[in-house]
Amino acid sequence: MFEVKEKPRLVERAYLLSVILRETERSEAESLLNELEELVSNLGIEIVCKHVVRTRKTFPGHLIGKGKFEQLLKDVQSQNCDVIIFDNEISPSQQRNWEEASNVLVIDRHEVILDVFAERAQTKEASLQVRLARLEYSLPRMRRAWTHLDRQRGGGVTQRGEGEAQIELDQRMLRDKIAKTKREIVQVATRRETSRKKRHRIPLPTLALVGYTNAGKSTLLNALCGSTVLAANKLFATLDPTSRKTVLPCGKTIILTDTVGFIRKLPHRLVDAFRATLEEALVSDFLVHVVDLSNPDFEEQMETTIEVLSELGAQEKTILTVFNKIDLDGTTTNRMRANVLCEDANFISSHTGKGLINLHQKIEFLIEGKMETKRFLIPHRHYSIISRIRKEGCLKSEEVTEVGILVEAFPQGKLAKELKKYANYEKK
């Protein structure tokens, strides 16, 4: 029976490889290899060599030509490597050809990301999403690798013809597992939706923190909300959305949600698999795009985030861009580049707290701009309504008069309906 399992930790020395077609692609390829190196290092694997190979065209057998292929095999063997990791996406047949020729494990960036996700998954939803992505990734890579993959005879002696090949049986079982996992994910998503509805019974403004992985989203959530969510200096430290309530200096209550980070060349299968996890970004009122200003490739990281948000259908949301980690960026060059990309740039340090006061003001401005403020005259005998307005964080101002309490507020949902009868006080 075919079964998808986690690979045993036998590999220790990795050879990283990136294939390019034009010399102008070398700089970006080297940057992506550095990122891949960090991903692989997080799995506890030693990086022996990083190599960018230029080829005039891609070859179906090994991606590169025979001469360079043989040179690389000699280099891999001379350095006693256990695994070759491509930054490029390789086909199942190319993966098989490399493994047969090199006699070492061969994987690509896609599988490395899956391994990192599998290691970091904490909740049932994240584990299911990783499992689904693994199953879908493994399906086209099933091949005749064992001697038992021969034709099996039909069910009875009177039946004629050949039965299914063992690999066909394995593929069918794998598809059944995929279908079952998808059903489980739907169930978990339904429970999440129920939880979200309960949270929205008191309609508070919601903001989702989005951005590249390791941009400092969790640290910013802790800084703004006083929470203790895990914040580590590593890629994909957060896989599950975490929501926290906080009160702004003006007295408004909001909900902030930390989401899974993005990465360049994120496999589309993972975008689809983690769609349920990223739904918090889709249902939020605003998005706070957190950018790591200390990273020299922050522009490409910003572009990646916007592309993934577009794939999710969240590109039309109001986005507040925040450039984080200014305490790690000792030059003004990156700030100048950031100001060119974003006219209303916000520079902060989630670690030291610098710039957070200004960020609070920007958030307040966003909320007030979207919420329609109305004036209400609440009779003194109905003071309990004032308490509800405060509790829901939609009170802007209040003034005690002889006939009642004059308030400015931006209520939503059920409270807005109840306050309609107090809205036309000037006509009375």
Q: pLDDT tens, 88-126?
A: 988 888 988 999 999 999 999 988 888 887 777 767 777
Asked if residue 343 and residue 391 are part of one domain, the reply reads no
- Does residue 31 sit within a domain? yes
Looking up residue 259, the CATH number of its domain turns out to be 3.40.50.300
Mean pLDDT value of segment 359-366 = 86
Separation between Cα atoms, residue 193 and residue 16, nearest integer Å:
41
Mean pLDDT of the chain: 79
Go through 89-109 and write b for each residue having 16 or more CB atoms within 10 A of its CB, e for each that does not.
Answer: ebeeebbebbeebbebbbbbb
Reference 283, options 246, 240, 313, 328; nearest CA is 313
> Residue 154: which pLDDT band, with cuts at 50, 70 and 90?
very low
The proportion of the chain whose per-residue pLDDT surpasses 70, expressed as a percent, equals 79
Is 170 contained in some domain? Answer: yes
151-153 and 162-165 beta bridge pairing: antiparallel
Residue 389 in any domain: the answer is yes
pLDDT of residue 2: 42
User: pTM for the whole thing?
Assistant: 0.73
Supply the range of the domain harboring residue 174: 123-150+163-196
For residues 167 and 245, membership in a common domain is answered with no
Structure tokens at 34: 């550095």
Q: Of 142, 173, 196, which residue is a domain's last?
A: 196
Same domain, 361 and 387: no
Q: Is residue 6 part of a domain?
A: no
- Do 170 and 40 share a structural domain? no
142: which 2 tokens?
Answer: 């099933």
Cross-strand bridge partners of residue 206: 255
Q: Do 303 and 215 lie in a common domain?
A: yes
Q: Is 155 inside a domain boundary?
A: no
pLDDT at 157: 38
Please check whether residues 249 and 331 belong to one and the same domain: yes
Higher pLDDT, 369 or 136: 136
Q: What is the pLDDT of residue 89?
A: 87
- The answer to whether residue 156 sits within a structural domain is no
Q: Which residue has the tokens 């701009």?
A: 369
Domain count, the chain: 4
Q: Kindly state whether residues 278 and 348 are assigned to the same domain.
A: yes
Question: First vs last Cα of the chain: how many Å apart?
Answer: 79
C-alpha–C-alpha distance, residues 413 and 415, integer Å: 6
Q: Which of 18, 89, 82 is nearest to 54 (CA)?
A: 18
Helix (H/G/I), strand (E/B), else coil: 365 = helix
Residues 228 and 352 in one domain: yes
Domain match, 191 and 219 both: no
Q: Report the alpha-carbon distance of residue 38 to residue 246 in Å, rounded.
A: 34
**Domain shared by 184 and 103, yes or no:** no
Residue 157 lies in a domain: no
